[in-house]
Amino acid sequence: MSDFPLQPEFLNPTKLLQKPTRDGYGMGLVEAGEQDPNVVALCADLTESTRTEWFAKKFPERFIEVGVAEQNLAALASGLAAVGKVPFMASYATFSPGRNWEQIRTTICLNNQPVKICGAHAGISVGPDGATHQALEDLALMRVLPNMAVIVPADSEEARKATLAAAVWPGPVYLRFGRSATPVFTLPESPFKIGEAYVLKDGSAATIVSTGSAGA
Amino acid sequence: MKLEELAHIANEVRQDIIRSLLQAGSGHSAGPLGMADVFTALFFEVAKLDPQNPQWPERDYIVLSNGHICPLLYAVMAQRGFFPREELLTLRKFGSRLQGHPHREALPGLENSSGPLGSGLSQAAGMAYGLRMDQKKNRVWCLGSDGELQEGNVWEAAMFAGKYRLNHLCYIIDRNNIQIDGLTENVMPLEPLRAKFEAFNWHVLEMNGHNFGDILNTLSEAKAILEKPTCVIAHTIPGENVGFMEERFEWHGKSPNAEEAALALKELRSLGGKIECSDHC
């Protein structure tokens, strides 16, 4: 039997709170910053929409504006990690890890530095922006890299927990977030552990496996 | 350390480069020989390092951006005592810690993995920024090449370091004028190089990369610049001190065969024919 704690109305999305997973990232990042003074946040000119802004307002001395330069964003984060920082670097997934894949591979993964790569506006949830902005390849690009943990949170509550889990994970992490608001069906007490899957509902007719907001 | 002693070490380093490349059967010759004097000065005189404790928290960070000149990095690290010189003969061999391009996880003392060009300066800037956040005084020395400056990533990093005035960051560029396809100014011109870095808000110095007095003076001056990051353009001769390799871009990515290695070692041991040298040298 599944004992995974869920919102009582989890099968009725219209009755659930709707929030984008990037909001969970923004909240989790602030919490991670409170817990560890070595947590730093970098952004490539998308501070508001990646929700890095919340961290930047609370810890301005630990926020680094990199400008529209995703290759530098990645390799710079590697250097920060090399001197003991826990860098979270955010942009849109189509730019990061889209444009800076080689820097992520060489300077983050092969160096095994604990950089957290946060790809916002991933997938087709950014629909109106068109094909150039719909990162459909980011998971494949990140999954093939050595030392890399890949996480796609199911809702904003899980995104908050995933961000906190990434902050204490010893190696590189890719966190994927969406733009659109999606139903929040997990609870603060719902478990989250990197590398674990959970049974949401028991049944016998079929097995449905999902990742990310498709779980909603 | 006296300048003569540094020159002697650099000569030994050059010989070790030739020996390790001969054993490897592939690898880069011209760049490592050309930067041997600058690396020797940096590792033996300028940078704060402890070979017995490569993770020493007070150390200077040396970031090699153009990883393909690692036969030099390994040779100078071995001379400095990071690992036994005999290990240099394992260069590029299966299971060796001395990979054909540096891999940080493989060898203590390496600060970064490199090979794909253009990302070293970003990593060095990240280190310098992070160290400054913690009010630490460590210096970060990034070593790169001129051909590498054709990578856009370098200029993203240059813009960043200029904006944040990373004064403990020094970027030493090997200005040897060659790259794989020919002369840099034919392949993709870099000049006016000095003006480019000045325009990015860097303090720029130039030095003769084969004159130890000039190298030590220049790197000492770089330490004294507090306002900006410093870019040192090191004018070098690719293949320096091995006559048949000097200034020849064909030797950028090639290793010597047994005959060529013997000739190169003889030239180095005899200081270019100035002194007698036994046959087995």
Reduced 3-state DSSP string for B165-182: CCCCEEEEEEECCEECCE
Q: Which of A79, A110, A112 sits opposite B122 (nearest CB)?
A: A79
Integer angstrom CA distances of residue B77 from A16, B16, B241: 61, 11, 20
Residue B26: partners with Cβ closer than 8 Å, 6 or more residues away: B92, B100, B255
- And the tokens for B130? 């992070």
pLDDT over 90 (residue B222): yes
Question: A75 vs B153: CB contact, 8 Å cut-off?
Answer: yes
Q: Which residues of chain A have pLDDT under 70?
A: 1, 216
Per-residue pLDDT, A159? 98
Q: Domain for residue B141, yes or no?
A: yes
Residue B278 maps to a domain:
no
* Sequence-ordered list of residues with C-beta below 8 angstroms from that of A86, at least 6 positions apart, any chain: A32, A36, A38, A39, A40, A114, A116, A167
Contact indicator for B42, B277 with CB cutoff of 8 Å: no
> A82 CA to chain B: closest CA distance, Å?
7
Q: Which domain holds residue B197?
A: 3-269
- Given a contact cutoff of 8 angstroms between Cβ atoms, the answer to whether A89 and A63 are in contact is no
Residue of A72, A80, A105 to mutate, testing the B interface (most B Cβ within 10 Å of its Cβ) = A72
Alpha helix segments (H runs only) across B147-231? 152-163, 184-187, 193-199, 212-224
Contact B133 A40 (CB under 8 A): yes
Judge whether residue B280 has pLDDT over 70.
Answer: no
The enclosing domain of B188 has a CATH number of 3.40.50.970
Res. B279 pLDDT band, cuts 50 70 90? low
Q: How many CB pairs under 8 A join A and B?
A: 104
Determine, yes or no, domain membership for B119. Answer: yes
Query: pLDDT value at position A166?
Result: 98
Give the pair of three-digit tokens for residue B174: 């090997």
- Whether B230 has its CB under 8 Å from any CB of chain A: the answer is no
Asked if the model's pLDDT at residue B84 lies above 90, the reply is yes
Site from B61, B121, B133 to mutate, A interface, most A CB atoms within 10 angstroms: B133
Nearest CB among B104, B118, B156 relative to A111 is that of: B104
Averaged pLDDT of chain B: 96
User: How much is the CA Rg of chain A, to the nearest whole Å?
Assistant: 17
**pLDDT tens column, A134-167:** 999 999 999 999 999 999 999 999 999 999 999 9
Phi/psi at B240 (nearest 5 deg)? -45, 130
Global model pTM greater than 0.80: yes
Written as six digits, the tokens of B180 are 């794989």
Q: Which amino acid is at A154?
A: A
Written as six digits, the tokens of A111 are 């160096």
Residue B246 has pLDDT above 70, yes or no: yes
- What's the number of domains chain B is made of? 1
For residue B274, being part of any structural domain is answered with no
Contact assignment for A71 to B130 by CB distance below 8 Å: no
d(CA A171, nearest CA chain B) in Å: 13
Please confirm, yes or no, whether A31 is among the known catalytic residues.
Answer: no
Higher per-residue pLDDT: B121 or B271:
B121
| Predicted local distance difference test score (pLDDT) of residue B273 | 84
CA gap A41, A6 in Å, rounded: 31
Q: Which residues contact A140 (CB under 8 A, 6 or more apart)?
A: none
Q: What percent of chain B has pLDDT over 70?
A: 99
pLDDT at residue B274, as a whole number? 86
A84–chain B Cβ distance below 8 A for any pair: yes
Greater model confidence, B272 or B169 = B169
Q: What is the Cα–Cα distance from B112 to B120, expressed in whole angstroms?
A: 8
Question: What's the rounded Cα separation, in Å, for the pair A178 and B116?
Answer: 31
Question: Using CA atoms, how far apart are residues A73 and B159, in angstroms rounded to an integer?
Answer: 12
User: Is the distance from CB of B200 to CB of B159 less than 8 angstroms?
Assistant: yes
Q: Do A71 and B118 touch (CB under 8 A)?
A: yes
- What per-residue confidence (pLDDT) applies to B204? 98
Residue B230 lies in a domain: yes
pLDDT of residue A215: 72
Q: Tell whether B105 is within 8 A of chain A (Cβ).
A: yes
| Spatial separation of the C-alpha atoms in residues B201 and B230, rounded to whole Å | 9
Residue B75 lies in a domain: yes
Pick the catalytic residue: A34, A70, A157, A196? A70
Top pLDDT among B1 and B11 is at B11
The answer on pLDDT for B281 being more than 70 is no
| Nearest alpha carbon to residue B15 among B278, B279, B261, B275 | B261
Interface test with chain A among B63, B66, B122, B160, by most A beta carbons within 10 Å: B122
Q: Per the domain annotation, does B78 fall within a domain?
A: yes
Question: If DSSP codes are grouped into helix, strand and coil, which group holds residue A120?
Answer: strand
B62 interfaces chain A, CB cutoff of 8 Å? no
Q: Give per-residue pLDDT as tens, B134-185.
A: 999 999 999 999 999 999 999 999 999 999 999 999 999 999 999 999 999 9
Instruction: Using a CB–CB cutoff of 8 Å, tell me whether B133 touches chain A.
Output: yes
Q: Could you tell me the two tokens for A122? A: 């991933």
Closest CA of chain A from B126, distance in Å: 4
Q: Give me the phi and psi of B48, to 5 degrees please.
A: -85, 115
**Model confidence band, residue B110 (pLDDT cutoffs 50, 70, 90):** very high
Nearest 5°: CA angle at A77, between A72 and A83? 130
Q: Which two tokens stand for residue A85?
A: 């920082």
Is the residue at B276 inside a domain? no
B278 confidence band (pLDDT: 50, 70, 90): low
| Residue A32: its H or E element | helix A21-35
pLDDT of residue A214: 79
Shortest CA gap A69–chain B (Å): 6
Mean pLDDT, residues B96-120 taken together: 96
Match 């000149």 to its residue by tokens.
B69
pLDDT of residue B209: 98
Q: CB-CB: which of A62, A71, A77 is closest to B152?
A: A71
All structural domains of chain A, each given as residue ranges with its CATH number in brackets, are 13-215 (3.40.50.970)
Give B4-61 pLDDT, tens digit per residue: 999 999 999 999 999 999 999 999 999 999 999 999 999 999 999 999 999 999 999 9
Asked which of B233-237, B249-253, B255-259 is least confident by mean pLDDT, the reply is B249-253
Percent of chain B with pLDDT over 90: 94
CB contact under 8 A, A71 and B114: no
